[in-house]
Structure 1
Amino acid sequence: MTSGSEQSARHRRTINRKRAVLSGLAALTMTGAAVFVGTSMSSASAAASWPTPNGSEPVTKTIPVSGVKDGGMKRYYGSGDLAGDGQEEGQDPIFKLADGATLKNVVIGKPGADGIHCSGSCTLQNVWWEDVGEDAATFKGGNSATYTVSGGGARKASDKVFQHNGGGKLVVSKFAAQDFKTLYRSCGNCSTQYKRTSIFNTIEVTAPGSRLVGINQNYGDSAALRSITIIGDSSKKIVPCQKYIGNNTGKEPQTAGKDADGTHCNYKTSDITYK
């Protein structure tokens, strides 16, 4: 039998442990660190476990999203005017997100059209592209926009996964890409150019692929690569960070080197693991 004093001591220890946990969470929030509770993906490797869609829905006209849309892991695919899945420029997207919108738990199937457009700041959470059309997602906000991609993955991207045409900052974490050409491209020849920032953390890519990120050195772009895993590229042909000299005339941009420099291409050898 436990004495009253022992029960009181245990009760005090339990309360102290709860207070410590709550204090720790509060500290993370105060410092701006991300807190993931109940997430199904704890690493890029987990992100590579492609989900089974919960039903399918054809989309004949772009779906506008404002606020939060939870797709419940349904597959959405283009039909009718949205049945394109090639690289033709100017295709309409499956989803168009208003400034501040969130799209989560969605699978975009084939045909994928031009995937997702973000008009301003947006959040894409646990979004999967089974067969990328023109691009998976295009970011079009202004200089103050922040785009967040958390979880999910994309495969069969014969050109780009993420296209950054507007300004602002893109943050991608716990994301997987398979069979792609370019994971991220800061627009090299848009008529209006910006200084663009991108951060990639805990990313798993599987060859074949050509480059992780492409940025415009002359416009002050920067890309940070952290905890990157590259699978099936023992010869290291996938370029981590390609620099370009961008323009606003529509011409094909020239390359400008591909080495880490601490200013435009920010990563260390230890940030990239080959398997």
Structure 2
Amino acid sequence: MSSETQQRARHRRKLNRTHAVIGGVSALGLTGAAVFVGTLMSSANAAAQWPTPNGSEAVSKTIPVEGVRDGGMKRFYGSGDLAGDGQEEGGDPIFELADGATLKNVVIGKPGADGVHCKGTCTLQNVWWEDVGEDAATFRGGESAVFTIKGGGAKHAEDKVLQHNGGGKLVVSNFVAEDFKTLYRSCGNCSTQYKRSVIFNGLEVTAPGGRLTGINSNYGDSAALRRVTITGDSGKEIVPCQKYKGNNSGDEPEEAGSDADGTHCNYKPSDITYK
């Protein structure tokens, strides 16, 4: 077979594969735009792309969420009584999710008040905090609560990003964090304490930062880190997992080591990549 004939044959095979893909997409009822977006989102760098908000809305009173609320990528920011972005504990959130609720496709701008509160099991999907106020999200609920974060990110947190005050488990996947003090904290001195756990699977972190996780080893907490990438921390100053001796008296908890022990701090050196 001549070189020219071989090229024509390869071209026909390529066209046939393309037509087969398009046919399959059409059968699923998807548009070309949907396929293009899906391709972008599957790329390794997609998680690091901060979204451009689709308009803005001032929020002067906490928005309650039951069921599913899709924000359409609009920016929500605090005004009036929610205009604060300081570190005083006990502030009101922009959104408060009922047990079982889902909040998705939302950008929380500045001022961010106390971000999002989950009263029980909840899901945060593609939620972005442009400038964290008191905390980005606070999780409450009993021992059986399961909190899920899918995608999204947060930056400019003077203190904590994710605050775990209730019981249960937090599962975070494909999250981005920049410029923070503590990414996740199991409450160190709440009046009611629980055994809590957190799992990060897919995390992109950009320094500066203090610690990825803070847990209470004396209450049986655990933190698992998988597929973590840290950028701009050549000295490895960001602590992956800080253990504390928590209490229920309101006192400042004492540090209790930061070694990867496979029980409380569950990760291996290969789970964290430095760039």
Which TM bucket (shorter chain)? 0.7 to 0.9
Taking the TM superposition and a 5 Å limit, the aligned residue runs for 1:192-211 are 192-211=192-211
SS in 2 for 1:123: strand
Partner of 1:26: none
Q: TM-score, normalised by structure 2?
A: 0.85
What letter corresponds to residue 258 of structure 2 in structure 1?
A: K
Partner of 1:109: 109
Partner of 1:52: 52
Taking the TM superposition and a 5 Å limit, the aligned residue runs for 1:31-180 are 38=38, 41-42=41-42, 45-180=45-180
Distance 1:41 1:244 in 2: 37
Partner of 1:6: none
CA contact 1:95–1:116 (8 Å) conserved in 2: yes
CA contact 1:43–1:174 (8 Å) conserved in 2: no
Q: Number of matched residues?
A: 242
Instruction: Provide structure 1 residue ranges, at least 5 long, that are not aligned to the other structure.
Output: 1-13, 19-36
SS in 2 for 1:208: strand
The question of 1:233 aligning with 2:212 is answered no
Against the structure 1 CA distance between its residues 169 and 40, is the aligned structure 2 distance closer, same or farther, given a 3 Å change threshold?
farther
What letter corresponds to residue 159 of structure 1 in structure 2?
A: D
- Deviation of the 1:41 alpha carbon: 3.5
What letter corresponds to residue 178 of structure 1 in structure 2?
A: E
Distance 2:242 2:45 in 1: 25
Distance 1:197 1:234 in 2: 28
Against the structure 1 CA distance between its residues 158 and 78, is the aligned structure 2 distance closer, same or farther, given a 3 Å change threshold?
same
Deviating 4+ runs (over 2 angstroms): 37-45
Partner of 2:262: 262
Against the structure 1 CA distance between its residues 46 and 266, is the aligned structure 2 distance closer, same or farther, given a 3 Å change threshold?
same
Partner of 1:3: none
Deviations 1:58-89 (A, max 9, x none): 00000000000000000000000000011111
Distance 1:47 1:136 in 2: 18
Distance 1:128 1:39 in 2: 21
What letter corresponds to residue 259 of structure 2 in structure 1?
A: D
What letter corresponds to residue 90 of structure 2 in structure 1?
A: G
- Deviation of the 1:38 alpha carbon: 4.1
Distance 1:241 1:152 in 2: 21
Q: TM-score, normalised by structure 1?
A: 0.85
